Structure 1
Amino acid sequence: MDLQWLDDVLVLLEEGNMTRAAARRNITQPAFSRRIRGFENWLGTQVLTRAANSVEISPALGANEAEIRALIGRIRDLRGKIAHFDPASSTVSLAAQHASVISTYPDMALHAKRHFPSLKFRLRPGNLGDCVTMFLRGDAHILLCYEADNAAPLPFAGTIRRAFWGHDYLVPLVGGGLRYAVRDDGSLPVDAPAIVYPESSYFGEVLNASERPFGTQTFSNNAVCETAFSSGIKELVLNGMGVGWLPFSMSHKEIESGELISLANHMGRERLKIVLYADMQEQIAMSLLDIWSADRR
């Protein structure tokens, strides 16, 4: 289909006359008529009723004038996007576990902006299962997630590339008035209130596997709140509502200021890998993985 056919049709609708329309298009009337026939052949139906001494325009053509104009606009917009495509100014969709959105993504975005100033991100947070589903479904170009330090990589196909960003740690923390319940050896009473993760959540699975106290319902005597949202746990811990396990990257500033006290020396910590996955066919995603991997060497 020739785009000029649509332009011809619009001029014909505006003029309502073949002779005047041909003149506006700077071609002869027979040539203009041939182009209208070309449009009819492509469309599969006639838009003109031709008699010996007259030509009538089909009412259906006029009724769809707005749609024809919109179609011309979309085609020209598509041409421009293809002709002037710049991967560095694309919008990249990134599926990320909730905690990593706060603890890791901001630093990664700053690194990316240094190389691709016009790059835009569409951030899609969720639990790990939802993030993997979004990534496999093609709703996200990149998957950002945590992996337990002793866990194997996610079992994706060979067309999916994995990159390593760095390490983080889940650490047990207290804040608010509960800080004064910490003993000299860094321990807490076993019935101290706890803000725990659901055992079905990723952090819950990690803490449960290591039998960490105050991590989940199973290993807490006084779980006052259960939630998979680390940012919510942080606020509750800061207000002294209970012990909570949080990524160190999310809480190091409050630890340094004294608002939070780490109990890692007594209870230990869980090391986590921060990893990225992307389809090798996604050019901009591959470029980002190259940058992020290089920046962490």
Structure 2
Amino acid sequence: MELKWLDDYLALIETGSFSAAAEKRHVSQPAFSRRIQQLEDWAGVSLIDRSRKPLRFTPLAAKHEAAFRSLATQIYEFQATLRSDANQTPGLVMAAQHSLAAWYLPTFLEELRSLMPDQRFRIRSENRDESVALLARGHADILLTYETRQTQSDVPPQLATCCQLGEDALVLVASARLCKSEDFTNPKRPLPLLCFPPESFFGQAIRTHALPELMHARLITIQCVSEFSLGLREMALIHQGAAWLPRNLIAQDLQEGKLREVQSVGSEVPLKIVAYFSNHSGRALQGLLAQLLARRGAHSKANPPTQAEASLAPE
């Protein structure tokens, strides 16, 4: 099969006539008709019902129209990937925890690209355990993740160099409407809660640092369990319950008053934002890390750090 036959067929679908499709494809109508016939011969089926006018496609052709479009897209995407890989150096792979990929990664990526403008990066957004595993297996060069003081990533120093980038916190929030409701504020009524799975990183951190205090103060009822912060955020926004979420992830929701912190019963859980740079990924990555540390170190020397900026120092 020739790719131009597939493009001809898609043009015929879009225009609905042989003459218009031939004009769009810049060929004569007889040549265009022959190419459609060649596509049918290759497929071994009739795509055009030539017994009727105006143009009609056979039921089989209509049924698989989406598949024809998808096939053409896949071929061109594969072609673009091959050309890109042939013309560019391999990229560094960054594995990022889902929540950080949603809000912090773009800023961090912009900083890395400012240090090495010609360096390519490939992003893998995963849950925390899988992100750590990608680094450990050598399938990622950089790991971007959250940690608490009690819950480290257990990445051995001989495998990767750790750099603390900033701070965040899990805060208990609920929609403004829910916070005003009598059932929600009544200490004798169960508090509807949106939770992370107990075995997840956020689930463990909340159960260690915040949930016992909440359960001592209020009865709770579990409304939803999800691994994804963005999913729990959406549930909170439609008044389904309270959830511990990264403050920076929901900063705009808090600013606009869509979500409110439930400080009366919900202690926050401090988080560190850290990046691990593999020690076995070659000179490009080590050069990038050196530049990153030098920039942050130079900034600290030139200006005494504020409390927020102090978190940018390397661990």
Q: Sort the TM-score into its range (normalised by shorter chain).
A: 0.5 to 0.7
Query: Over residues 190-232 of structure 1, what are the superposed CA-to-partner deviations in whole Å (9 max), with x where a residue is unaligned?
Result: 512111110010000001112426999xx96211110010011
In structure 2, what residue type is equivalent to 1:173? Answer: V
Q: Check conservation: 1:177, 1:239, Cα contact below 8 A.
A: no
Partner residue, 1:110? 110
SS at 2:110 equivalent: helix
What CA distance in whole angstroms lies between the structure 2 residues aligned with 1:233 and 1:272?
Answer: 18
Q: Structure 1 residues 291 and 230, CA, compared in 2 at 3 Å: closer, same or farther?
A: farther
1:67 corresponds to: none
Over 3 Å counting, the alpha-carbon distance change for 1:265 and 1:221 in structure 2 is: closer
Q: CA deviation at 1:126?
A: 1.5
Verify the 8 A CA contact 1:95 1:131 in the aligned structure 2.
yes
Q: Secondary structure at the match of 1:111?
A: helix
| Corresponding residue number in structure 2 for 1:162 | 162
Structure 2 partner of 1:195: 194
Opposite residue 171 of structure 1, the aligned amino acid is V
What aligned pairs does 1:1-297 form with structure 2 within 5 A after superposition? 91-152=91-152, 154-175=154-175, 177-181=177-181, 191-212=190-211, 221-264=220-263, 266-282=265-281, 283-293=283-293, 294-295=295-296, 296-297=312-313
CA distance in 1 between counterparts of 2:241 and 2:248 reads: 20
Between the two proteins, what is the percent identity of the paired residues? 24
Q: What is the aligned residue count?
A: 211
Cα displacement string for residues 124-173 of structure 1 (whole angstroms, at most 9, x for unaligned residues): 12222211111111111111111113345524152421111111100000
CA separation in 1, counterparts of 2:285 and 2:214? 35
Could you tell me whether the CA contact under 8 Å between 1:177 and 1:240 is conserved in 2?
A: yes
Distance 2:212 2:249 in 1: 20
| Alignment-mate amino acid for residue 268 of structure 2 | R
Give the whole-Å Cα distance in 2 for the aligned partners of 1:204 and 1:215.
Answer: 14
Whichever of the two has the greater Rg, that structure is 1
- Give the 3 Å change call, closer, same or farther, for CA 173–138 of structure 1 in structure 2: same
Contact 1:147 1:273 in 2 (8 A): yes
Give the whole-Å Cα distance in 1 for the aligned partners of 2:186 and 2:170: 17
Q: Is the 8 A contact 1:170 1:245 kept in 2?
A: yes
Stretches of structure 1 lacking an aligned partner (at least 5 in a row): 1-73
Give the CA RMSD over aligned residues.
3.1
Secondary structure of 1:222's aligned partner: strand
The one-character-per-residue Cα deviations of 1:77-102 (angstroms, maximum 9, x if unpaired) are 98x87xxx6xxxx5221111111111
8 Å CA contact 1:196–1:215 kept in 2: the answer is no
Distance apart, 1:113 and its partner CA: 2.4
Residues 155, 121 of structure 1: CA spacing in aligned structure 2 closer, same or farther, 3 A cutoff?
closer
TM-score by length of 2: 0.59
**Alpha-carbon distance in 2 for matches of 1:225, 1:231:** 13
Whole-angstrom distance in 2 between the partners of 1:168 and 1:123 = 22
Q: Distance in 2 between matches of 1:114 and 1:175?
A: 38
**Counterpart residue type for residue 169 of structure 1:** A
Structure 2, unaligned runs of 5 or more: 1-81, 297-311
Cα distance per residue 1:161-189 (max 9 Å; x no partner): 111111110000011521213899x8866
SS of residue matched to 1:146: strand
Deviation at 1:254, TM superposition (A): 1.1
Provide the C-alpha distance between the structure 1 equivalents of 2:188 and 2:212, rounded to a whole number of angstroms: 11
Q: 1:124 to 1:182 in 2, by over 3 A?
A: farther
Q: Report if aligned partners of 1:215, 1:244 keep a CA contact under 8 Å in 2.
A: no
CA distance in 2, matches of 1:212, 1:157: 32
**Equivalents in 1 of 2:285, 2:264: separation in Å?**
39
What secondary structure is seen at the aligned counterpart in 1 of 2:245?
strand
Task: Provide the residue aligned with 1:52 in structure 2.
Answer: none
Q: Is the alpha carbon distance of 1:163 and 1:128 closer, same or farther for their aligned partners in structure 2, counting shifts above 3 Å?
A: same
Deviations 1:39-82 (A, max 9, x none): xxxxxxxxxxxxxxxxxxxxxxxxxxxxxxxxxxx9xx98x87x
Q: Distance in 1 between matches of 2:290 and 2:263?
A: 34
Give the TM-score of the pair, scaled to structure 1. Answer: 0.62
Q: Closer, same or farther in 2 for the Cα pair 1:234/1:284, shift >3 Å?
A: farther
